Structure 1
């Protein structure tokens, strides 16, 4: 069987030590669209993402990509008990929680565990969790949890898992904005350590069932977090304590993402969909929750 839950669930995926610099932070922010709007090159608020001065801040979503930021090979899928390949895989969900504002440079170690595998019949969902700690202080910096959706690998009679949908308030959103994905956005974002050919190679994308390369799910995820941070939290990344979202659809370079956000008593609920064109209204990100710091 390509997936053996008895081997995979609970497997320690080991520890990885990594470092990042201000240049990595700047590239990541550019990869998720910071500085792309007219006038951003002159805006003090926008330059907090894209200028390496004393005001530079780090959007917490950077923590998800920081451990593999300098990878140049396609992401490996050598998970214990899982014989799968990239063409079968799409990102399912992603969350991060931070202990405080992330430093603009540093060294950390992340330890990751494969926590769950769900049997969805025609697919499997594989969950991982990781904890990153500062090598300088030993303090926890952030925690991540993510899932991948593996097509064609379900049906062994395993646990189907649980899923809790986030209800969007039945009122007008407190924030609505639109971001148009640039034609080269996926080619830029892949320099942040994700060289999956699904996002760059037209032939690979077609073999995986897509008419063209798609934007990285984590790029869409970062765009939505940035738009909500800018629109509701005044662009202050230090006010973000955590962010979670489920990947509910794909984005093709050149399309526009419409982001909506609702303030609640203890969180910001978000959603994202395609705006305009033949796929107007198609979902991008669902079950989004931004937890303020």
Structure 2
């Protein structure tokens, strides 16, 4: 079947249980400090909305296992998250997943996998080389970098143990921990999970917005190139009239996150 025929494919449903320890481990893995009591202390705990992404990783994995694309060459291109209401401290996360769209990029296809829960909707965009050319729509272009000077510039060090911690939350692909697996994937050494880097950037962005990071309501980001444990990100951010922050991140002049947008507030 051609790639376009995967559009609207039902990927099934799944219920994932989690506890306070999982949410706290996640917060630490994405850069929370011991002094961030509302992220790391069960008596005051607020769960980061991005935590749910660790419980929903099964959905794009199911699509790859079904044969939609070569799991050895496909990459996570971008991520979108829309929050409806706060996650409880612990409980069951009931999810359903579908292939919401397939875009034809010519030499590649982009599969969009949407995971829906009562708390949020998350969409993975998977860039799959060799799957295009089926005559479909090319889809929207990525948002461009603002032409004006950034309103904020800051640095964000990635911890040397962050990838090792993050994989304990569910994404245990060997390339994030094993040097030989990373080399087989074309990387010089184990590298960060894109979703870990993206979530880590939201913490200081929440400070800039004068908000709590658990009050995230919208997040978008494109994974432009890999980040390695110990890298220092330079993050540029632009304020928008609606209260959102646009952002990009780079390492030594190499863009690693682009088309970023984050909004904090109260879910409607």
Q: Same fold per TM (> 0.5)?
A: yes
Distance 1:200 1:121, change over 3 A: farther
Equivalence for 1:142: 120
For 1:180 and 1:141, the matched residues in 2 are separated by 30
Equivalence for 1:94: 79
**Aligned-residue offset at 1:264:** 1.5
Equivalence for 2:231: 255
Q: Which runs of 5+ in 1 are unaligned?
A: 36-40, 133-139, 275-279
Alignment partner for residue 56 of structure 1, among 32, 45, 49?
45
Equivalence for 1:137: none
Deviation string 1:231-263 (CA, Å, 9 cap, x unpaired) is 3234x1343211111111110111111222222
Distance 1:128 1:75, change over 3 A: closer
For 1:187 and 1:66, the matched residues in 2 are separated by 17
Distance 1:4 1:123, change over 3 A: closer
Map of 1:165-204 to 2, 5 A cutoff? 165-168=143-146, 170-173=148-151, 175-204=152-181
Equivalence for 1:116: 101
State the secondary structure of the residue aligned to 2:246.
strand
For 2:247 and 2:69, the matched residues in 1 are separated by 35
State the secondary structure of the residue aligned to 2:188.
coil
The Cα RMSD (Å) is 2.2
For 1:208 and 1:160, the matched residues in 2 are separated by 27
Cα contact 2:224–2:258 (8 A) shared by 1 = yes
Cα contact 2:158–2:233 (8 A) shared by 1 = yes
Map of 1:234-249 to 2, 5 A cutoff? 234=211, 236-249=212-225
Q: Which runs of 5+ in 2 are unaligned?
A: none
Distance 1:283 1:203, change over 3 A: same
For 2:64 and 2:261, the matched residues in 1 are separated by 31
Equivalence for 2:30: 32
TM-score under structure 1 normalisation? 0.82
Deviation string 1:36-90 (CA, Å, 9 cap, x unpaired) is xxxxx3x3xx22222222x22122211211345xx8xx955545451422x2122
Distance 1:270 1:4, change over 3 A: closer
